[in-house]
Amino acid sequence: MSYTITELSKMFHLPASTIRYYEKIGLLENVEHVNPYRRVFDESHAVRLNAIECFKKALLPLDEIKAFFTYEKDMVANYENILDMMKAQEEKTLERMKDLETGLTHLQKKIRYYSLVNEAIKNDSPLPSWNDL
């Protein structure tokens, strides 16, 4: 199956400029250029874009994603590098998730507090104390 840049853009919710950038920095290789304005992508590019987007969601920087794909070309020689990279990123991602959970808990407490403030104002009652939560 082949794809236009517009189709991939819609499929992955990415601007076409991002897909062109990925090609420019070597994340998407062997893209067929029919003419200066038209690229043709194949299934391997869609699979690669899916992997890139998954890695980005796990907060892996683009240079490390590129290194991963380079390592993957010779997996037997580089499996330890891949494993080390993935384990290190797992730790970073888990730490970020903890930070996000802390932030979410704080937001939820603020929502509860200001919901009580809202009720107090509407009922002409005393405002709640933050310490009561």
For 37-78, write each residue's pLDDT tens digit: 899 999 999 999 999 999 999 999 999 999 999 999 999 999
* Helical ranges in 1-133 per DSSP H: 5-12, 16-24, 43-57, 62-73, 75-122
**22 is a domain residue:** yes
pLDDT value of position 132: 79
118 occurs within a structural domain: no
Q: Against a cut of 0.85, is the pTM above it?
A: no
Torsion of Cα atoms, 58 then 62 then 66 then 72, to 10°: 0
**Domain interval for residue 18:** 2-89
39 domain residue, yes or no: yes
For residue 81, what is the domain's CATH number? 1.10.1660.10
Q: Based on the structure, what is the number of domains in the chain?
A: 1
Mean pLDDT of the region 103-116: 96
110 occurs within a structural domain: no
